[in-house]
Structure 1
Amino acid sequence: MTDRADQTIDALRTGHDYLTAVVHGLASADLNRPSGASGWDVSQVLSHLGSGAEISLAVLEGALNTTGTPDGDFNKSVWARWDDMSPAQRAEGFVAANNMLVSRYEDLDAQTRKELKVDLGFLPVAADVATVAGIRLTEFAHHTWDVEVAFDHEAPLLPAVTGLLLDQAGPFLNFLGKADALDARPVRIAVHTSAPERTFGLEVGDTITLTDEPEQPDAVLNTPAEWWLRLTTGRHAPAHTPSEVSLASASLTLDDLRRIFPGF
């Protein structure tokens, strides 16, 4: 069986190659179009991904070389440099910077992929390669959607990475969501996804957690897996919600779920 780190690194390459092809197909004016990320145009999304790749590479190198995680001033200097780029420079800069990050992941040998610990600075403990690469994949996939939805309001998440993202989403739901967005708690929701098919529970109480499917749910959500993932990251506006999404409940609405997950 392929290791989760290997699967995630392969998915990062798939995502990079896909978005690179999208970027190379854009005209100059396309880079100024509003993206799916509120307040950002397409070039700013690419800037965020490019600067993030540069910072992520520095963090990875710090773990490999035991020099530690770069400080906040390093991050600020990277962001400032990308902010000063033209839209075209951001687009090409993204392709180069993200390819360097993905290539560095690909160069890691099997032992390093299994044993390396990376201090991300915002987690309580250093994380393994699978987790660190998975966090990057989550960010990358959703910001790829931010680019694509500028040109197609029905765009889904990249199908090639949806299953992998679905299986690793649970630990971050409490970080992404706002349990106190609902006045009446706890709430237990049965979630049924398609493409791929999964069945599980979502409990919103003092925290937000995934559970086994509840026997007596307060609501039943049927949804494509890719929209469930977009829901949890705030990319859930009615205009971008597929017709297959349905919520059966006497007390909850889709807008209630949208309030739980305001996005990033």
Structure 2
Amino acid sequence: MTDRADQTIAALRGGHDYLTSVVHGLATADLTRRSGASEWDVSQVLSHLGSGAEIGRATLEGALNGTGPRDGDFNKSVWARWDAMSPAERAEGFVHADERLVRAYEALDARAREELRVDLGFMPAPVDVATLAGLRLSEFTHHTWDVEVAFDPTAVLLPVATEPLLTQAGLLIGFLGKADALGGRHARIAVRTVSPTRSFGLDLGDSVALVDEPAEPDAVLSAPAEWWLRLVSGRHAPAHTPAEVNLKGDALTLDDLRRVFPGF
């Protein structure tokens, strides 16, 4: 478990350093360009990441000092402050807030990375550091894509994050996937990714779940691992789907899968 935490924290550092370099290269006008998150401009994505970093650091500190998570009023006050910032203030504020969060993770010793448990409120039980950092990595990585795709329609997820995110892909898939999008149809899909290479199953029935690869799948999805992760998070428009993505079988189409994973 410590190894998974180490890998995830290292990916958070790599992601932070990369997005910081991107942000420092943006002109003021770039910050108000529409992002990959349809309702936000680039500065609003950075605001979301910056406010999330503040809240995440407070949550981590609450677990370390035994005071527990902050209440909803704290979160609202953070969001209100970031909402009131100018686009340039959001960009610079993100850099500083996320640096402090990453440093807080990096400061955790081996014992804390193994034994600390953090109450998030919305999970059935407190989570370990690897899971907590993984949730932040997922948010951070997909919103980094939201920033990049505003300038490059062929943008992909950060390679440093892809493998750790694949490891935890099943954590929220039942929440993100909408099984009723298939109109009562039940399909079992073999998912085969590259970069890195993985094979597993996607069960679309009364709910959506990751399972072992079925011996007789209704369809086979072959795709870069980063696109599979983007599919699950709703960042899967045809314009942003690489040519290597292939779905074989008559049970459903890529558009069916897009409906199952509408995003959030």
Q: TM-score, normalised by structure 1?
A: 0.98
Please, which moves more after superposition, 212-221 or 52-61? 212-221
Query: What is the match of residue 194 of structure 1?
Result: 194
CA contact (8 A) 2:35 2:42 kept: yes
Distance in 2 separating the partners of 1:53 and 1:164: 19
Query: What is the match of residue 252 of structure 2?
Result: 252
Q: Residues 62-104 of structure 1, C-alpha deviation per residue, up to 9 Å, x if partnerless?
A: 1111111100010000000000000000000000000000000
Deviation at 1:257, TM superposition (A): 0.2
Show the 5 A alignment for 1:28-67. Answer: 28-67=28-67
Query: What is the match of residue 26 of structure 2?
Result: 26
Identical counterparts, % of pairs: 72
Query: What is the match of residue 225 of structure 2?
Result: 225
CA contact (8 A) 2:2 2:110 kept: no
Calculate the aligned-residue CA RMSD, in Å.
1.0
Query: What is the match of residue 16 of structure 1?
Result: 16
Deviation at 1:251, TM superposition (A): 2.4
Q: Where does the alignment leave 5 or more consecutive residues of structure 2 unmatched?
A: none
Deviation at 1:2, TM superposition (A): 6.6
Deviation at 1:125, TM superposition (A): 0.6
Distance in 1 separating the partners of 2:237 and 2:169: 20
Deviation at 1:186, TM superposition (A): 2.1
Please, which moves more after superposition, 163-172 or 81-90? 163-172
Distance in 1 separating the partners of 2:84 and 2:173: 34
Q: Residues 161-206 of structure 1, C-alpha deviation per residue, up to 9 Å, x if partnerless?
A: 1111111111211011111111133210011111111111100111
Query: What is the match of residue 127 of structure 1?
Result: 127
Code of the residue aligned with 1:29 in structure 2: it is: A
Code of the residue aligned with 1:185 in structure 2: it is: R
Distance in 2 separating the partners of 1:240 and 1:154: 6
1:88 matched to 2:80: no
Please, which moves more after superposition, 160-169 or 46-55? 160-169
Distance in 2 separating the partners of 1:218 and 1:107: 47
1:73 matched to 2:86: no
Code of the residue aligned with 1:256 in structure 2: it is: D
Q: Residues 3-53 of structure 1, C-alpha deviation per residue, up to 9 Å, x if partnerless?
A: 111111111000000000000010110000000001100000000000000
Other structure's SS at 2:45 match: helix
1:262 matched to 2:262: yes
Q: Residues 130-153 of structure 1, C-alpha deviation per residue, up to 9 Å, x if partnerless?
A: 000000000000000000000000
Moved over 3 A (4+): none
Show the 5 A alignment for 1:109-258. Answer: 109-258=109-258
Distance in 2 separating the partners of 1:110 and 1:76: 33
Code of the residue aligned with 1:64 in structure 2: it is: L
Distance in 2 separating the partners of 1:180 and 1:71: 34
Distance in 2 separating the partners of 1:7 and 1:79: 29
Distance in 2 separating the partners of 1:96 and 1:147: 17
Deviation at 1:213, TM superposition (A): 1.3
Code of the residue aligned with 2:248 in structure 1: it is: A
Q: TM-score, normalised by structure 2?
A: 0.98
Code of the residue aligned with 2:74 in structure 1: it is: F
Q: Where does the alignment leave 5 or more consecutive residues of structure 1 unmatched?
A: none
Matched positions, count? 264
